[in-house]
Amino acid sequence: MKDVMSRFLDYVKIDTQSDPNSKSTPSTQKQWDLAHKLVSELKEIGMTDVYIDERAYIMATLPSNLDYEIPIIGFISHFDTSPDFSGTHVNPQIIKEYDGKDIVLNPEKGIVLSPDYFDDLLQYKGQTLITTDGTTLLGADDKAGIAEIITAMEYLINHPEIKHGTIKVGFTPDEEIGRGAHYFEVEKFGADWAYTMDGSQIGELEYENFNAASAKISVAGKSVHPGYAKYKMVNALLIANKIISMLPEAEVPEKTSGREGFFHVHHVQGEIEHAEIQLIIRDHSKPRFEERKQLLQDIVSQLNAIHKDAVALEIKDQYFNMKEKIEPVFHIVEIAKEAMESVGITPIIKPIRGGTDGSQLSFMGLPCPNIFAGGHNFHGKYEYVPVESMEKAVAVIVKICELTATKS
């Protein structure tokens, strides 16, 4: 049986960065390189009904070894990596028996992974860490999850004494650009519920996430010679600045945490004749989420009353809090919690300050909490993953399968 570390090291060396500007699925041709490898590997370990569609969505089945029917469960991860940082020529470094001190990732560039800044490192003293070389991201998000799922399936295949029902696995492209669940065939997948292996540190168990929307505000101005502009010029830049100033000053990402929502202005461009603001809206509370969208509409209405409909607002809902879909079937969270505890892990149950494929899948009819994959500092050169966390994730998957059989 191939260990989870070896699998992970194989996967991260394959560049699978997605591209938000692409209209195709997958958004980059290079994602196929890992997709085809995963299909071959699933067949090699003995999975059945291994399938890949024209968009690189992968599904496979581990048949039940029971003589009675129980719910079908699934495990899902994504194989693309973030467009935020390079995933080309990933050169992972292995730090054995980490001593709790600074890790020099790249001596030439002076890039150091330090517990003085990333204090989570200290909880992994004595363990084996896999880091970057300081020039790329690592890809633990979410190639760690894929390695864990395949390793767990192989373990179950090689240990038939562990009783389990039918298990489905699914691997998706383009999660990092928000499209991972767009073409996921829930009915074809055929599970009653599933778990995404896409969380961060060991113990994370998440079934709440933000309600999310994007907003684009366009401002139409009028350019007039500044010497003769009185009562004639309409400066779109100043109106855009006014709009931003009317948003709650303390409700921004850098001043919020936990279940606190925010407005995040991430792009502003313009000139006198035209300006555009792009922002995102986030809140765990659905009523508060709707209030945030209404506030933008009120601001635009207020300014249009002054500037004669110079401002246009476009709001698009992106995803919703999966909590409302998980709570009616909360036993699926309890099973994951018990699985963690039974292998010596203290569950960390907290809301996700972001989104997950599990959110979209939950609203598509597949309740899907999120479980840790083990990595830290995703999407950048300081990313790392403890090998022991990946091994524990494998144990959790196996135990969830076992508990589902016994409890059913």
**Annotation: binding site:** 78, 141, 176, 198, 379
d(CA 289, CA 387) in angstroms, rounded, equals 38
- Give the count of alpha carbons within 13 A of 160, CB side only: 5
d(CA 387, CA 237) in angstroms, rounded, equals 51
- Name the token pair of 279: 């922002």
List residues forming the annotated binding site for Zn(2+).
78, 141, 176, 198, 379
HEC readout, the chain: CCCHHHHHHHHHCCCCECCCCCCCCCCCCCHHHHHHHHHHHHHHHCCEEEEECCCCCEEEEECCCCCCCCCCEEEEEECCECCCCCCCCCCCEEECCCCCCCEEEECCCCEEECCCCCHHHHHHCCCCEEECCCCCCCCHHHHHHHHHHHHHHHHHHHCCCCCCCCEEEEEECCHHHCCCCCCCCHHHHCCCEEEEEEECCCCEEECCCCEEEEEEEEEECECCCHHHCCCCCECHHHHHHHHHHCCCCCCCHHHCCCCCCEEEEEEEEECCCEEEEEEEEEECCHHHHHHHHHHHHHHHHHHHHHHCCCEEEEEEEEECCCHHHHHHHCHHHHHHHHHHHHCCCCCEECCCCCCCHHHHHHHCCCCCCEEECCCECCCCCCCEEEHHHHHHHHHHHHHHHHHHHHHC
Q: Is 175 a catalytic residue?
A: yes
- Active-site residue, from 142, 148, 174, 175: 175
- Active-site residue, from 15, 19, 41, 80: 80
Q: Is 49 a catalytic residue?
A: no
Q: Which residue has the tokens 């961060």?
A: 200
d(CA 242, CA 265) in angstroms, rounded, equals 13
Catalytically annotated residues: 80, 175
